[in-house]
Each structure stands twice: as structure tokens, then as C-alpha cells.
Chain A
Amino acid sequence: MNIFMMLAPMSVFLGLIGIGAFWWTLSHGQYDDPAGDAARILLDDTDGPLP
């Protein structure tokens, strides 16, 4: 039971980290252009960081 009392909050905490990460991707526009991001990885970087 003791190990449960430690593991349960830990798993909930890990879940919260997942939600936080999802919220971060959402608020940083990671889903604005999924097709473009998939395509951009195939391009050679010739002009430095994009605006």
C-alpha cells in the first residue's frame, strides 16, 4: 500500500505534465500548418532561420 501511495500521485503528476506539454504546443501554434511542417523538413536550409 505504501508503494501505491507514492506511485499514484506520481502517475497523476506525469499525466499533468502531458497535458501541460499539449497546452504549450497548442498555444505556440504547432498545429497551425501541419502539412507545411511535414514538407519543410525535406527542404535544405539555405536561408537561415525562418521568420
Chain B
Amino acid sequence: MALTYDLSPAPDLSAFLKQRPGGQPSLDLLVTGARCAACLGKIERETAAVKGVTGARLNLTTGKLSVTFDDLPSADPGAVIATLDRLGYPASPFDPDQAAEARDREGRQLILCLAVAAFGAMNTMMFSVPLWAGLFGQELGPATRVVMQWWCALVATPCVLYAGRPFFASAWRSLKARRANMDVPISIGVLLTLGISFSETILRGRDAYFDAAISLLFLLLIGRWLDHQLKARARSAAADLLALQAPAAVVVSVDGTEHRRPIGEVRVGDMLIVRPGERVPVDSLVESGSAELDTSLLTGETTVRQARPGQVCRAGVLNLTGVLRLQALARSEDSAVAAIARMVEAGAQSKSKYVQLADRAAQVYVPVVHTAAALTFAAGWALGLGPREALLRAVAVLIITCPCALGLAVPAVQVAASARLFRRGVLVKSGAALERLAEINHVVFDKTGVLTEGRPQLLDAPAPVVALAAPLARASIHPLAKALAEEAGAGPMADEVVEHPGLGVEGVIAGRRARLGRAEFVGAPAPESLETELWFGFEGETKIRFRFSDRLRSDAAETVAALKAMGLTVEVLSGDTQMAVAAAADAAGIGQRRGGLTPIGKADAIDVLQSGGHKVLMVGDGLNDTAALARAHAAMAPGSALDASQNAADLVFSGERLGAVVEAITAARQARRLALQNFGFAAAYNAVAAPAAMLGLVNPFLAALAMSGSSLVVTLNALRLRSAK
């Protein structure tokens, strides 16, 4: 739950400036909306024209603009952001150290391995084709065959040893942890194949499988790389969001000067200043000043709260109206927000224990295949084949059953599914998230910002009345007044405007004095003043009431009905009052609802549901949802959600439509069905190929054909997901 108030803060951004030793100060910005060459040219030209800027370069792929300045005193990040805003590209600063540059070292390693494997597979093939021809009675003398085999060995061996490193390393790690993942049979198979092929070549045998070893790695690396790309893209999006969080608090020293400090350096007893539009950095006591606070982030309440001297403010609360002087009561890591962050971490840890489909398949597959190979060797020897022939057959079993199709089965499907969802505005953070999403049977919605739009909106007021109050509303920064002004559109502003914090705004419209605000301030005879209404009146005249409400998303009811039709149960968990929750839940058609929950209460409710056998999908957007998001089996957050929530969620959907939830679940279920189909295919293939290998019917040509054929079938099956409705 988070209400977004349309405030335009002008925070000091100098904390984002970076100066490398001996270099110019620089600033990194995340720019949204840049798509084409014209955008790129305009952004770089206009940014470079800002005073003090020496250079600007935009990375169109990632949307990151890096700006260098002349020297520190003349650097003005605010001017750069204002320029970009004027051009129509909203920008926000971020800390590139946090969006770790080193993250893609692994990706670079994988693509190099893939390139080496491709080189090896192609060049080995050049020598293998004559060998295969020899298998079918074409002219190939033993001397030529040995030469060809040695060439194969020469090219394939170094390539296998290099390109296989990701598999060897992972298999070694998993063996040390006394578990068997898919990389164990791959590594054993590949290394054994190399060994047996060398011995065959030396002994002048026919069956050297150098080409099989390297092309196996090539196909597997494609799957591995697809999987990595999927994760890396989502991770970088998440890291950018994390880096966007404001790192600074304004601390007032004894002599009255203000300094910007990282939140982590704020000490207990420090004096802080929090201006409108800023969040309270740590738990603190109000020393002076008064303001209206948006606590929706922490408690889920939609009503605005009043802050007065002597009151305690929790970290993360948004200051809406006045300047507050605060005394820090806790350090950042002891604040209320930090407790939620720890719960999120715990949730993420429990999620990482989730065993993915492919690994579960490996747990069955590995023992079966290795037993079959061992049996082939033992039985072959016992039945009088001789150790060399028996070993060759055992290796043929390992090669032909090597989980090429299995390695591709899941990543190919997940990449196709997340590409499809990405086109519909849903970002999938990992393949495991899709698998978990396919398993859920209970959906929990947060109210404000998820079921509803999360913005206060004026309820049916006649246009002439709105126009009457609009001049005063335009002069105010209060969220409700802003909603009123938005309804009225552009127009004149009142004169002699005085804002009374916590009460309302007073001014002169066309020569007459008028007030807009709380009932008692305007002088209305209201018995009690509700937070979701504004009163307006000219001096000595009848007072008018404006009521506001948070509107339901247009497709909320439709989405809930669709979820129920899929056989899922739906529930609302909110921190807002019972009455407000009931109204929204009724409108959306949800029977189960609970209100007045604390952030911890929400997470506990999820735990109770899950221990009762439910697999819960949590859809939430506020800080009070993050713990619940992290605990739930699967989690989604709208793109308008708080950064912390987007980080805790598995999927992030953009746009106004809640229907994305239905689309995501449908795609996840389809993906699981296709992955299981692929497993089924791989099993059927092995059921035919393994006995054939045991009987010695497999030669290097058939092995190569079967391997690439099965991988192709699995990939094509995964691609069906792209065309599916």
C-alpha cells in the first residue's frame, strides 16, 4: 500500500556526485523514455550544453546517462535533471557502485566458453564427417582414419577442457556439498568420453567420440547462457531500483549549518531537517515545526497524520507539507524500517531453498543413468564382451543419455515465457519465480495501490462548484487540494495565499476572502472532520464539502473473477481500516478480507496460510507489504510500487491493468506444462536410446545425430509458447 502524492521535491543531489582520484566529478542517471537516435542526440546535446558539464554519454540499451562535470563547485546535478525533465525524459540519480558492474563477469565467461565450444564443434566436425563416411563403407583407410582422429583430439580436447569449466566447477561444488546436480553426469560423461576416445584412437579403434563431447558442451552452454541472460536482465533491473534509494539525510550541526550525510552515519541525538517531499530517515522525535505525514508506507493507512512537537516519527514516513526539525532516536539499522528489511532477507533465504524443476529431475536422473552405465559394463564383461568393448558400451550409454535435452528443456521454456510476459509489461526476475508462480493456489491482494489506483480522487462534484474552489486549490501543495486542482484543470490562482499547516489554505478569489481545508478551519458545522474530505467557502457564505476516495482499478473485479475461474481462492490483507477494506473488497468481489494489519501481521498471516497447505501469491506494493512479499511462495508488485517491494517481489508488472496477474499465472502454468512435456520427451528418447547403446548399436554418427536431434525438438517445443495465446 502506498499513496503516491504528487509532490515535487528539490533535494540536494550532491551526495550522488562521484569524483575518482585525479578525475572529473561525474554523475550517473537512469533516464526513462529514450528510444531512438533522435532521443539520444537530443539528450546528449542538451545535457552537454548545461553549465559546468563537460561531457554526457547515454547508453541506449540500459538507459544510463553518465555526465562529467568541470569541477566540484560548479557541478549542479539538479540543473541536468531539470533539463532532462524539460525534454520529456524523467531521470533519477543512482549509485553505479551498487548496481554492481562486476555482475556480468559470469556472463562474459559463459559467452567465451560458448564461442570456444562453437569453434571446437565446427572444426571437429570437419574431421568427423570423413570418419562418419568411413562408417558407411566409404573409402577410408586405417591410416587416414587415425590421422583424422588425432586431428579431432587435437582440436576438441583443449576446447572441451576450456568450455567445460562452468560445468566442472559446478559439479565439484555440488559433490562437495554431497548432492548431485545435473552438472555431475555432464562432467563425468564428458571427461569419460574424452578418455575413452583417446584410448580408442591409440588402440586404433573405430569409436572416438571427440565430436560428441564438444558438441554436447556447445548445446548445453546455449541453455546455460539463456538461463544466465534471463537472470542477469532481471537482476540488473532490481539492482538499479535498489541504487535509486536516497542515501542521504540532512543533519544540522551545533552552529546551525546543514550537512548531507549518508543515512548510515546518523547518530542518536543528531538534529535532522526533513522538508516536504522527503522521507524521515531514522526513527526520531519532533523538536519543532508541524507537518502532515503520509504513514501509508509503514501502516497501510490512507489517512494523513499530523506531526506536532514531542511526537515520535518512524523512519520511512513521508513529509507532505511543513518543514520538520527532528532529533534522531535510533540509528538507521535500529529503525522500524530495518526490522522489515531483516524479515525480507529471511524470506529471500527461505525462497533460495526452493528446488527447481531441473534439479528435481536430476535427482532422479543421475542415479538411474549411472546405474544403467555401470550395469552395462558389468553385464557386458560377464557375458564375455571383453573389458574394452564393455567399457565402450557403458560410455556410449553415458553419452547418448547425457542430459542435453534436459539442460535445454527448462531454460528454453522459461526464456520464451518471460520474453512473452516482457512484451506485455511483466518483468520476470528468475526462472524459479515462474516455477513457483505455476504452483500457487491462493492469491492475496493488498488494497491501496494494488486493488485501487492509490491516488485520492474527487468524488462526484458539479463542475461549477469545483471551478469555484480551484483557484485556492491550485495554490496549495496538500494532496487532496492537488487532486481537486487536477480535476479543475488549468486556470487562475488565488491572491494573498496563506497556507496554515494542518488546517488548510486561505486566500482572496476575485476580491472575496475564501478558505479551503478542514471543516473547523473553514467554519463548517460538521460534527467531525474526516481526513478524506475538504471544505470550501467564501467568508460568511454556505460551505461546500468535497469528498475524496481512492478509486478501484478499472479491471479489478474482472481480474478477481478470472482468478476464481482458474480455481484460485482470493483474499485481501490490508493495513487500512476494516471499513475501507470492506468497501474495496466488496467492489472487487472478494469475500475473504482482513484489515488493520501491521507489516509483521501481514507476514504472519501469509505464514499461517502457507503452513495450512496453501501456496500463496502475494500482490503488494508498499513497505508494509515487503515482508509478506518475501515470505509468500510467489510475489508480484506493480511498477508503481516502492523500490523495496519491487526487490522483494518475483515479478513486476507495469501499467494500470491488474490483469497482468492473470496473464503471468497463465504463462507460468503453460511454461510448466511445456517443461514437463520436454521432460517426457527426454525420458521417451532415453528409453529408446539407452537400450540401443547397451546393445552396442550406437556409433559416433548416431550419437551426434540423436543428441542434436533431441535438443532441437525440445527447443522447438519451447518456442510454441511464443505463439500461444
Residues of A within 8 A of B (CB): 1, 8, 11-12, 15-16, 18-19, 22-23, 26, 32-36, 39-40, 42-43, 47, 50-51
Contact = CB atoms under 8 A, between A and B. Distances in A.
- Which of A11, A18, A35, A42: most chain B Cβ within 10 A? A35
Nearest to B159: A19
Interface string B56-71: 0111111000001000
A36 B60 contact: yes
B60 A50 contact: no
Given A15-B122, A43-B40, A33 B115 contact: no
A19 B119 contact: yes
B61 A35 contact: yes
Contacts of A40: 37, 40
Contact of B108 (A26, A36, A39): A26
Nearest to A32: B59
Contact of A11 (B111, B126, B144): B126
Given A39-B40, A43-B40, A47-B48, A19 B115 contact: yes
A26 B104 CA distance: 12
Interface of B: 36-37, 40-41, 48, 55, 57-62, 68, 108, 111-112, 115-116, 119, 122-123, 126-127, 144, 151, 155
Given A11-B126, A36-B61, A43 B37 contact: yes
B115 A15 contact: no
A14 B139 CA distance: 28
Contacts of B116: 19
A26 B109 CA distance: 10
Contact of B57 (A34, A42, A50): A50
A39 B68 contact: no
In the A-B complex, the 7 residue pairs with the smallest Cβ-Cβ separation, listed nearest first, are A36-B60, A39-B37, A42-B37, A35-B60, A33-B59, A35-B61, A33-B61
B60 A39 contact: yes
A14 to B, nearest CB: 9
Contact of A51 (B36, B68, B127): B68
A19 B162 CA distance: 13
Nearest to A1: B144
30 contacts: A8-B126, A8-B127, A12-B123, A15-B123, A19-B116, A26-B108, A26-B111, A26-B112, A32-B59, A33-B59, A33-B60, A33-B61, A33-B62, A34-B61, A35-B60, A36-B40, A36-B59, A36-B60, A36-B61, A39-B36, A39-B37, A39-B40, A39-B60, A40-B40, A42-B37, A43-B41, A47-B48, A50-B57, A51-B55, A51-B68
A32 B61 contact: yes
Contacts of B68: 51
A39 B146 CA distance: 52
Nearest to A23: B112
Contacts of B48: 47
Contacts of A36: 40, 58-61
Given A8-B127, A8-B151, A22-B115, 20 more contacts: A15-B119, A15-B122, A16-B119, A18-B119, A19-B116, A19-B119, A23-B112, A26-B108, A26-B112, A33-B60, A35-B61, A36-B40, A36-B58, A36-B59, A36-B60, A42-B37, A43-B40, A50-B57, A51-B55, A51-B57
Given A36-B59, A39-B36, A12 B108 contact: no
A11 B48 CA distance: 49
Contacts of A12: 123, 155
A19 B155 CA distance: 13
Which of A34, A36, A47 gathers most chain B CB within 10 Å? A36
A42 to B, nearest CB: 4
Contacts of B59: 32-33, 36
Nearest to B151: A8
Contacts of B112: 23, 26
A50 to B, nearest CB: 6
Contacts of A51: 55, 57, 68
A8 to B, nearest CB: 6
A16 B48 CA distance: 43
Contacts of A42: 37
A14 B366 CA distance: 39
A26 B113 CA distance: 12
A33 B57 CA distance: 11
A45 to B, nearest CB: 11
Contacts of B57: 50-51
A39 B627 CA distance: 42
Nearest to B41: A43
Nearest to B122: A15
A12 to B, nearest CB: 5
Contacts of B41: 43
B450 to A, nearest CB: 33
Contacts of B60: 33, 35-36, 39
B235 to A, nearest CB: 17
A25 B723 CA distance: 34
A43 B42 CA distance: 10
A1 B145 CA distance: 12
B530 to A, nearest CB: 51
Contacts of A26: 108, 111-112
B363 to A, nearest CB: 35
A36 B58 CA distance: 8
B294 to A, nearest CB: 38
B20 to A, nearest CB: 14
Nearest to B64: A33
A22 B271 CA distance: 57
B629 to A, nearest CB: 32
Nearest to A18: B119
B647 to A, nearest CB: 25
A33 B63 CA distance: 10
A35 B126 CA distance: 36
Interface centre among B61, B62, B116 (most CB of A within 10 A): B61
Nearest to A42: B37
Contacts of A33: 59-62
A34 B122 CA distance: 27
Nearest to A43: B41
B169 to A, nearest CB: 20
A18 to B, nearest CB: 7
